[in-house]
Chain A
Amino acid sequence: MKCKTLFVKNQIAELIHVADYLEELGEEWEFSIPLVFSLNLVLEEALTNIILYGFEDQSEHQIEIDFKKSDDKLFITLIDDGIAYDPTLKADPDLSLSAEDRPIGGLGVFLIKKIMDQVVYNRNENKNLLILTKNINL
């Protein structure tokens, strides 16, 4: 099992570093370009929610992102000390609605669920753990 950890601050500008980090990780772990794109999107959606809505104070917080890769699976765990939030409970958007009726927003968590093969949430010692799994090398 290969393992790597990245820490980011609760600031939107940090997403630029996450994108760069994924490019490097993709080269090192030999991910396809579409997989790097998908992971970048999933992490941006998850991190944006945590950064914008996860903290009630104005302090700096660290968000931990653990990457683990086996032969056929990639596990990404996001750990933050923000308010309890289980994104898996969020209802999916109604895709059949017309442009006039579609609400603005609400797609982030849905994209995570569609792109990853498993999304699991745990609350542990005042921390949110979001465990994302993707089957790779299919």
Chain B
Amino acid sequence: MNVTVLKSEGYTLVSVEGRVDSTNAGEFEKSMLEVVADGATKIVLDCSELNYISSTGLRIFLIVQKKMMANKGQFCLCGLQAGIKEIFDISGFSSIFKMFPDKESAING
């Protein structure tokens, strides 16, 4: 797994690549919570290179969403691959996250 963070005016773009599973979810959680703690008002999480996620990873998405809502911020996801989108649908997560097809629409949305 690789996480890259790019701070821009008005939003922070985070890209996650590879797998988020029980073996590395702690690392992903730490990176995401750092972005939240840094005071980001809008986080765009680019998932186009994320090719596997388990419930341990989903848990972190929900933690970030709760924190951003409490901070009156925005948390947007974009570029979810079909297999990942299906897991979001099954989990009922598709209705609680703002999802966009690509990062441009997420940044402007």
Shortest B6–chain A CB gap in Å is: 25
Question: In the bound complex, do residue A95 and residue B52 qualify as a contact, i.e. CB atoms below 8 Å apart?
Answer: no
Please report which residues of chain A, range 81-118, place their CB below 8 angstroms from some CB of chain B when the two chains form the complex: 93, 95-100, 102, 104-105, 107-108, 110-111, 114-115
B69 at the interface (CB under 8 A from A): yes
Partner-binding segment picked from A10-18, A55-63, A119-127: A10-18
User: With contacts defined as CB atoms under 8 Å apart, how many contacts are there between chain A and chain B in the complex?
Assistant: 65
- Docked CA distance A124–B62 (Å): 37
**Which residues of the other chain, B, contact A19 by a CB distance below 8 angstroms?**
19, 21
A37 to chain B: closest residue by CB:
B83
Which of the segments B8-16, B53-61, B100-108 contacts the partner chain?
A: B53-61
Query: What is the minimal beta-carbon distance from B21 to any residue of chain A, in angstroms?
Result: 6
- Tell me if B52 and A48 are in contact (CB < 8 A): no
In the complex, the chain A residue whose C-beta lies closest to that of B84 is: A37
Q: How large is the interface on B (under 10, 10 to 19, 20 to 34, 35 or more residues)?
A: 20 to 34
- Mark contacts of B21-48 with chain A using CB atoms, 8 A cut-off: 1 yes-contact digit, 0 otherwise: 1110000000000000000000000000
| Chain A contact surface mostly | helix
B23 x A13 contact (CB < 8 A): yes
Which of A34, A99, A102, A111 touches B83 (beta carbons < 8 Å)? A34
13 other A-B residue contacts (CB within 8 Å) besides A12-B22, A95-B92, A115-B90: A12-B23, A15-B23, A16-B23, A19-B19, A19-B21, A34-B82, A48-B22, A97-B92, A104-B63, A104-B66, A107-B91, A110-B90, A111-B55
Chain A interface (Cβ < 8 Å from any Cβ of B): 12-13, 15-16, 19, 34, 37, 40-41, 44-45, 48, 93, 95-100, 102, 104-105, 107-108, 110-111, 114-115
Q: List 20 A-B contacts (CB under 8 A).
A: A12-B23, A15-B22, A16-B23, A19-B19, A19-B21, A34-B83, A45-B55, A93-B91, A93-B92, A95-B92, A97-B92, A99-B66, A99-B69, A100-B66, A102-B92, A102-B96, A107-B55, A107-B59, A110-B90, A114-B90
